[in-house]
């Protein structure tokens, strides 16, 4: 049996053993019988933290895939081995049968203390964990697709190699695996390119939403400051009228001479008007404060979503 392990690393640090197939010249002899055996093993690594920053810091420290600078969250490692039987003569060997054995190990994150997460963070973590699993099992599908293509090509016709020993056929299959490796590797890279583009697009959309919210918050903050200044001015006006009315009362008592009586009526009317104006301003301000606070909360949710979009 000859075992070949080829690893290809991608931007998400997915180490992938890949396989290949060969083009062979068919002869009148029967094509080889090609069987596939698969084995998928799953393992996990511990993740800690109670918010996105701590959780992704924990993932980064795992150095999954051993590539510096990349925060891989999952890892798919595949190994293809094969065994074969041949028939030989003085000049060549011919493949009679081939068994391809594909072993895939998928490593996924698992939070060690999920009950320590608040409701929102737990929801975000569960969604992210599911996305990582989906991502890695897409790599598994790509691996098995390559094995199936190799099987189909090997079964297309009789395969012979010059040389009277089985080693010649063995080398021929190894070259086939190396050729398929390039095909499978390109598929993994194309998948990562598509996934990365989708993540960047989602991040860009969230950042645009946050920028729009920030612009609205700035306008609302300016309006709140204007309302606060207007409320202060109306309060000062009302208090000034109240002091003037009190001064008249203190000077003349409850029975005011005609000129002072008219002045007192004017002051009372102004105080009533200021009070009504003040109440309207306070209601407007309170309504805007509610809108402002709700927008701050919405921004926090957007920022949280952005921190989990990776």
Range in 146-155, 232-241, 242-251 with the lowest mean pLDDT? 242-251
The torsion defined by the Cα of 39, 45, 51 and 53, in degrees rounded to 10, comes to -100
In angstroms, the first-to-last Cα distance of the chain is: 41
Residue 180 has pLDDT above 80, yes or no: yes
pLDDT of residue 173: 92
Residue 18 has pLDDT above 50, yes or no: no
The torsion defined by the Cα of 158, 161, 165 and 167, in degrees rounded to 10, comes to -100
pLDDT of residue 209: 98
Three-state SS across 107-130?
EEEEECCHHHCCHHHHHHHHHHHH
Residue 120 has pLDDT above 90, yes or no: yes
Sign of CA dihedral 121, 125, 131, 134: negative
Residue range 51-62, pLDDT digits in tens: 999 999 999 998
Residue 257 has pLDDT above 60, yes or no: yes
The Cβ of residue 223 has, within 10 Å, a number of other Cβ atoms equal to 15
8 Å CB contact between 38 and 104: yes
Q: pLDDT band for position 67 (50/70/90)?
A: low
Mean pLDDT over 178-189 rounds to: 94
CA dist., res. 43 & res. 110, Å (int): 10
Q: pLDDT band for position 14 (50/70/90)?
A: very low
């Amino acid at each position: 049996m000859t075992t070949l392990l080829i690893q290809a690393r991608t931007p998400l640090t997915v180490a992938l053993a890949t396989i290949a197939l060969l083009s062979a010249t068919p002869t009148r002899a029967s094509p080889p019988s090609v069987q596939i055996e698969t084995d998928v093993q799953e393992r996990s690594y511990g993740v800690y933290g109670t918010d996105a920053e701590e959780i992704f810091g924990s993932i980064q420290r795992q150095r999954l895939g051993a590539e510096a600078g990349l925060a891989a969250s999952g890892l798919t490692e595949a190994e293809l081995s094969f065994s074969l039987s041949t028939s030989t003569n003085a000049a060549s060997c011919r493949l009679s049968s081939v068994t391809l054995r594909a072993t895939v190990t998928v490593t996924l994150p698992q939070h060690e203390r999920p009950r320590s997460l608040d409701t929102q963070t737990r929801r975000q973590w569960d969604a992210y964990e599911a996305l990582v699993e989906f991502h890695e099992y897409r790599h598994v599908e790509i691996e098995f697709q390559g094995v199936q293509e190799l099987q189909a090509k090997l079964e297309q016709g009789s395969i012979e190699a010059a040389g009277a020993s089985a080693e010649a056929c063995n080398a021929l299959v190894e070259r086939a695996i190396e050729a398929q490796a390039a095909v499978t590797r390109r598929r993994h890279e194309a998948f990562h390119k598509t996934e990365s583009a989708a993540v960047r697009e989602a991040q860009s959309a969230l950042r645009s939403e946050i920028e729009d919210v920030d612009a609205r918050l700035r306008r609302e903050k300016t309006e709140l400051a204007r309302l606060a200044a207007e409320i202060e001015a109306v309060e000062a006006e009302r208090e000034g009228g109240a002091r003037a009315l009190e001064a008249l009362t203190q000077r003349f008592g409850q029975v005011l001479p005609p000129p002072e009586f008219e002045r007192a009526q004017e002051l009372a009317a102004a105080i009533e008007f200021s009070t009504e104006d003040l109440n309207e301003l306070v209601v407007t301000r309170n309504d805007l404060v509610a809108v402002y606070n709700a927008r701050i909360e919405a921004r926090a949710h957007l920022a949280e979503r952005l921190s989990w979009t990776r």
